[in-house]
Structure 1
Amino acid sequence: MSITATLIVQMIVFAILVWFTMSFVWPPIAKALDERAAQISDGLAAADNAKAELASANKRIEEQLTQSRNDSAKLLAEAEKRAQSIIEDAKKRADEEGLKIVAAAKADAEQQSIKAREALRSEVAVLAVKGAEQILKREVNPAVHADLLGRLQTEL
């Protein structure tokens, strides 16, 4: 055979091989490549969505943390105000109780002072009567001289 005929036969076999590959082999390979590309693009899109959702979740968490901190600060401030109020009320009540106790003590001291004065007056009156008895060298009758002794007691 001549080289031309061999070359023509090889070209025909090559054309048949190209046609067979393009018809039967290439479509499944292209389909597999397209499916793989679609899976990759879907995966990338899902990753982008996940990143966006993560950013959104982080933002919501930050907002909630900020809100929680603000709420905690408000509650703490209210608790401190309430504690101050309770302390002020307790101080006020303690002051009132202290004033009551001081007033009661003053009243008691005044009563004791009055009792002591009365006892002292009685003793002074008795001593005055005894002194008068010794000066007069006779007994003074308290029933007879009750008016005189009463005036003497009020003067003292």
Structure 2
Amino acid sequence: MSFHWESLVLGLIAFAILYWLLSKYAFDPLFSIMEKRRELVQQQLTEASNTREQAIGYVEEQKAALQQARQQAYDIIEQSKQTSGKQAAQIVDLAKNEATRLKDDAVRDIQNEKNKAVEQLRSEVGIASVKIASKLLEKEVKEDNVQEELVDQYLKEVGGKS
């Protein structure tokens, strides 16, 4: 096999021309497209990172909102318990006051009825005493009026026992 310098030089020239043509018409547009693709991928990665950070922020906000809602619900429940406890105490107090009022009214009514009964009894005793006295007077009338004193004494005793 023989070595030809002319074919080597011709091959090198052909390779240089091919390289120059490829770099002018193929490599620059290809590198340009690859650079655009790289920028697009980089931009998408940046957007994905930003979206992820926003999602994490939203999750944290949702956690905080949920915690706040739970706290508000707990506060409402506690306030309801306190309010119901106060209302129960008010109802018990009102019931006690009503019972006391009814008891006082009943005691007053009983006292009034007792006083009426005593007055009626006194009236009946007085009438009976007068009848007794008139019967006694009909039987005998004395000058010292012993029967009248007996009736007065009897009326005083009856009046004093009430």
**TM-score interval, normalised by the smaller of the two chains:** 0.7 to 0.9
Question: Is 1:43 aligned to residue 40 of structure 2?
Answer: no
The aligned counterpart of 1:123 is 124
1:87-140 CA-partner distances (Å, limit 9, x unpaired): 212221221122012111101111101111111222233234434555x37289
Farther-moved stretch of structure 1 (5-14 vs 70-79): 5-14
CA contact (8 A) 2:133 2:151 kept: no
Structure 1 consecutive aligned stretches of length 4 or more whose deviation exceeds 4 Å: 3-11, 131-134, 145-151
Pairing of 1:6-155 with structure 2 (within 5 A) = 9-134=10-135, 136=136, 138=138, 151-155=153-157
CA contact (8 A) 1:125 1:153 kept: yes
Alignment partners' CA distance in 1, 2:57 and 2:104: 69
Identity of aligned residues (%): 22
Alignment partners' CA distance in 2, 1:116 and 1:19: 140
Shift of 1:23: 2.0
SS of the aligned residue for 1:138 comes to: helix
Alignment partners' CA distance in 2, 1:33 and 1:146: 145
Alignment partners' CA distance in 1, 2:149 and 2:92: 55
Change (3 A) 1:146 1:49: farther
Question: Over the residues paired in the alignment, what is the CA RMSD in angstroms?
Answer: 2.9
Give the length in aligned residue pairs.
149
TM-score scaled by structure 2? 0.76
Change (3 A) 1:81 1:146: farther
Shift of 1:73: 0.9
Change (3 A) 1:75 1:150: farther
Task: Report 1 or 2 for greater relative contact order, CA contacts < 8 Å, sequence distance ≥ 6.
Answer: 2
TM-score scaled by structure 1? 0.79
